[in-house]
A and B are shown apart, each in its own frame.
Chain A
């Protein structure tokens, strides 16, 4: 029954099976029940936990959310819940667990935030900062506008407002804008 042997009772497992129910066996069962999915009542597979702290199998919770897309609430406490706001639980060896219900989309990934500090100037490696520049020369005024308009766009992957990275990007953006303007004047004069 018990899938995981706890360190204290691991050695006594066989004895339990022969000797019938004893306290160690009961304790183990109780421990198992703590990690039961609130929907299928089985030990949670591909476990996720909601912001309100309730544990589910991801396939079970996914099906619950699909059943009532307009009213997504926690099946236990009816708090608001969403696919984006559940946290997956990764135990040791959890990647080897096979999911019998393969039709279900993969469980949402955990969000990993880098620890504070240690951010250095990224230099001119544009790929690193998510900074993109396109510059085209076409029929004069239009080519100029298309290339400058690109700078105004909010690029996906740009750093959020207020961070040092954002300020650096703003600086680079202005720098290249002026370079482009100068380049066009040079073209006109030459």
Chain B
């Protein structure tokens, strides 16, 4: 049984490498081990989204029952998105759960994730805090997501205001990531973030 999974991943791997999306640098796959059970995926942040210019790394674990069951995928790169946990990188996407179909491939999964970045689904959230912000203050959400893309995914758009606030908290002895999470969760309100961090 494991044989069919490895055989298929081998074929898919070749297919992805030759695909035009790879040529356009939109997606990429790398092998992590030799027996094709774990891979590293990479997707480019789609244009005209807060994720533009960022590169997001994914952990892909291929179960023995692949392709009858979906691969286990999670974001290694920290990301601010309603359907992706900002803590664990876990993804809420139907095709990775009950809507999986055996004819889907690594390529279609990566492309679907890229599509998820450009079309969030806040009514079916993975990260409740992010989803709440998305619904209540889209502009704030976009600024925060852009800032996270800059901080973790190599995005080009730095936000001086946000960076300064984080610096201040770091000077107070707070870990950089913790400071970012606290500020992001409280719409970059310094007072409330500090309160939460030191309570």
Chain A residues engaging chain B, CB cutoff 8 angstroms? 38-42, 54, 60, 63-64, 67, 71, 73-76, 78
Contacts and interface: CB of A to CB of B under 8 A. Distances in A.
4 closest cross-chain pairs (CB), A and B: A75-B102, A75-B103, A76-B103, A38-B103
A40 B101 contact: no
B89 interface: no
Instruction: Give the interface size class of chain B.
Output: 10 to 19
B101 A76 contact: yes
B7 A64 contact: no
Contacts of A64: 68, 102
A75 B67 CA distance: 10
A39 B102 contact: yes
A38 B101 CA distance: 10
Interface in B33-86: 65, 67-69
Given A40-B7, A41-B8, A42-B7, A67 B68 contact: yes
Contacts of B12: 41
Q: Which of A40, A41, A54 is the most central at the interface, judged by chain B CB atoms within 10 Å of its CB?
A: A41
Contacts of B11: 41-42
Given A67-B68, A67-B69, A60 B102 contact: yes
B98 interface: yes
A71 B98 contact: yes
B105 to A, nearest CB: 8
B98 A39 contact: no
A73 B68 CA distance: 12
Q: Is the interface of B mostly helix, strand, loop or mixed?
A: loop
Contacts of A67: 65, 68-69
B8 A40 contact: yes
A40 B9 CA distance: 9
Given A38-B102, A76-B101, 15 more contacts: A38-B103, A39-B102, A40-B4, A40-B8, A40-B67, A41-B8, A41-B12, A42-B7, A42-B11, A60-B4, A60-B102, A63-B68, A75-B102, A75-B103, A78-B101
Contacts of A38: 102-103
Contacts of A42: 7, 11
A73 B101 contact: yes
Contacts of B98: 71
28 contacts: A38-B102, A38-B103, A39-B67, A39-B102, A40-B4, A40-B7, A40-B8, A40-B67, A41-B8, A41-B11, A41-B12, A42-B7, A42-B11, A54-B103, A60-B102, A63-B68, A64-B102, A67-B68, A67-B69, A71-B98, A73-B101, A74-B101, A75-B101, A75-B102, A75-B103, A75-B104, A76-B103, A78-B101
A131 B66 CA distance: 51
Nearest to B104: A75
A114 B98 CA distance: 42
